[in-house]
Amino acid sequence: MPRVLRIINRFNLGGPTYNAALLTKHLSPDFETLLIGGEAEESEESSEFILDQLGIEGKIIDEMQRDLGFANDRTAYRKIKQIIKDYKPDIIHTHASKAGAIGRAAGIAYGKAKMVHTFHGHVFHSYFGTIKTNFYKNIERTLALKTDKIIAISNRQKIELWKKHRICSADRIAVVPLGFELEKFQQNQEEKRKVFRQKFNLEDDEVAIGIIGRLAPIKNHSLFIDAFHQLQQQTTQKVRAFIIGDGEEAEYLKKYAKDLNIILSNGQENYIKNTQLHFTSWIKNIDEVNAGLDIVALSSNNEGTPVSLIEAQAAGKPIVSTKVGGISNIVKTNKTAFLVPAEDRKQFTDGLLKLTENKQLRDEMGTHGWQFVNKKFHYKRLVDDIRKLYDELLEKK
C-alpha cells in the first residue's frame, strides 16, 4: 500500500485541516497516511476535535509555528526529516505556506518521494511589502522546481500562480477544489436555528448578519463593521451582527465598533437584547451558527477558498463578499452571492441592505446555494480527484 505523509501548517480550525483530515480518512484503504502539523496558536480554535470525530490521529510538531523563526523552523525541519526517514513515504503532500516550505525542503533532501503541494491561499499580495513578498515568491519558485504537482484550489488561483506571480508553468498546476462534509448544514435546520436565536435573544423578525473567521488585518473586519453601521441607519428592519472568530485584531475591532457607538456584547451581555454587535469568539457548532443567521458576509482583502462561504451556501444562506482571490470561483455571482470590490464600503452596504430588506430575495439566493456547493465542494469529489492524481504520479514513478 502506498504511503502518504501529509503535512499541514497547524491543527487550527479552517479549510486546510478539514481537507487534510478528510483525505487522511477517506483515501484509506488505497493509501496509508500519516498526518502531521503544528499546534493551534492561543488566538485560534484547535481543530483536533475534527480528527477525533473522524477517528484519525495527527502528530503535532511543536516548533511548526505561523511566524518565521530560525530556531523553531530549523528544529521543525529536522523533526520532519526524521519522520520522513522513518516513515519512508511514497508521496509527501504539503498544505499551505509554512508546511509547504519546511515539508518540501525535507522531502527534497529525502529524494525518494513524489512531492505535492496545495496552495490553500497565498501571501503574494495584501500581506507584506514588496521586498518581503518577492522573497517569498523566490522561495516558492525554487521549491516548485522540485515539486511534482502544484495544486490550486480554483481556476483563478491557478492563473495567479502561473501568469501573475510566475511561480511555475501551467502544466505543473492541477486545479482541485476543496471538499467538505456538507450534509450537516442541511440537517435539522429549524431546530438548530431555534437554539442559536434563543441563545442570543433574537426575535423572529430580526435579521442576523454574521462574518466568520480569524480576526486578522487581511480579513478587514473594519469594512464589515462600517457597512453594518451604515446599514443600521438605512434599513427599516431590526438587525443584529455577529463577528464569529478570534485573533490579534479582536481588541482593536471592539474599540473601532465602540467609537461608532455600536452597542457590543461582553461576556454575559451576549444575552442582552439591546446588543447590536456580538463578538462571540470561536463556535465549534458552525452548522448551528449558519442555521441561525440570515446573511453571511466576508470582507477580506485576499482569500484562497474561504470555507465560511461554502458552508453558508450549504446552509442556504445568501452572501455579501468582497471579490478577491478565488471567491468568484466558489459562489454564483448574483445567484448565491453579491460580490463587491475590496474596500468598497458603499457597495458592501448596498448588498447587505438589499438582502436585509427583502426576505424573498434571501430565500431565492439561499435555495441556489445547496445545489451549487453539493455538486462542486463535497468531500467525495475531493477524494476522487486526489486519488487519481496520486495514482498518476506513482505510475510515472
- Note the pLDDT tens digit of each residue in 175-232: 999 898 899 999 999 999 999 999 999 999 999 999 999 999 999 999 999 999 999 9
Q: What percentage of the chain reaches a pLDDT higher than 70?
A: 94
The CA–CA distances, whole Å, from 378 to 50, 182, 327, 342, 383 equal 16, 7, 17, 28, 9
268: pLDDT strictly greater than 60? no
In terms of DSSP bridges, do strands 173-175 and 207-212 run parallel, antiparallel, or are they unpaired? unpaired
Same domain, 164 and 240: no
What distance in Å separates the CA atoms of residue 102 and residue 127, rounded to the nearest whole number? 20
Provide the pLDDT for residue 316.
Answer: 97
Provide the pLDDT for residue 125.
Answer: 56
Same domain, 280 and 325: yes
Same domain, 62 and 151: yes
123: pLDDT strictly greater than 70? no
Provide the pLDDT for residue 165.
Answer: 82
Predicted confidence band at 48 (pLDDT cuts at 50, 70, 90)?
A: confident
Provide the pLDDT for residue 272.
Answer: 62
**Nearest to residue 354, comparing CAs of 220, 234, 226?**
234
Same domain, 240 and 200: yes
265: pLDDT strictly greater than 70? yes
Same domain, 173 and 295: no
271: pLDDT strictly greater than 60? no
Same domain, 211 and 131: no
Same domain, 26 and 161: yes
Provide the pLDDT for residue 69.
Answer: 76
Do 118 and 86 meet the contact criterion of CB atoms below 8 Å apart? no
Same domain, 192 and 174: no
152: pLDDT strictly greater than 70? yes
Provide the pLDDT for residue 95.
Answer: 94
Range of the domain at 151: 3-179+378-396
Same domain, 213 and 355: yes
Q: What's the N-to-C CA distance of the chain in angstroms?
A: 15
Provide the domain count of the chain: 2
Q: Taking all residues of the chain, what is their mean pLDDT, rounded to a whole number?
A: 91
Same domain, 188 and 173: no
Average of per-residue pLDDT across 46-55: 85
Do 383 and 6 meet the contact criterion of CB atoms below 8 Å apart? no
What distance in Å separates the CA atoms of residue 78 and residue 85, rounded to the nearest whole number? 11
In terms of DSSP bridges, do strands 207-212 and 337-340 run parallel, antiparallel, or are they unpaired? unpaired
* pLDDT per residue as tens digits for the range 93-107: 999 888 999 999 999
* pLDDT per residue as tens digits for the range 385-394: 999 999 999 9
Q: SS3 sequence, the chain?
A: CCEEEEEEEEEECCHHHHHHHHHHHHCCCCCEEEEEEEECCCCCCECHHHHHHHCCCEEECCCCCCCCCHHHHHHHHHHHHHHHHHHCCCEEEEECHHHHHHHHHHHHHHCCCEEEEEECCCCCCCCCCHHHHHHHHHHHHHHHCCCCEEEECCHHHHHHHHHHCCCCCHHHEEECCCCECCHHHCCCHHHHHHHHHHHCCCCCCCEEEEEECCCCHHHCHHHHHHHHHHHHHHCCCCEEEEEEECCCCHHHHHHHHHHCCCCECCHHHHHCCCCCEEEEECCCCHHHHHHHCCEEEECCCCCCCCHHHHHHHHCCCCEEEECCCCHHHCCCECCCEEEECCCCHHHHHHHHHHHHHCHHHHHHHHHHHHHHHHHHCEHHHHHHHHHHHHHHHHHHC
Predicted confidence band at 65 (pLDDT cuts at 50, 70, 90)?
A: confident
Same domain, 113 and 207: no
- Range ranked top by mean pLDDT from 15-24, 119-128, 298-307, 333-342: 333-342
Grid coordinates given for 235: 434599513
CATH number at residue 327: 3.40.50.2000
Same domain, 195 and 247: yes
What does the angle CA 184 – CA 189 – CA 191 come to, to the nearest 5 degrees?
120
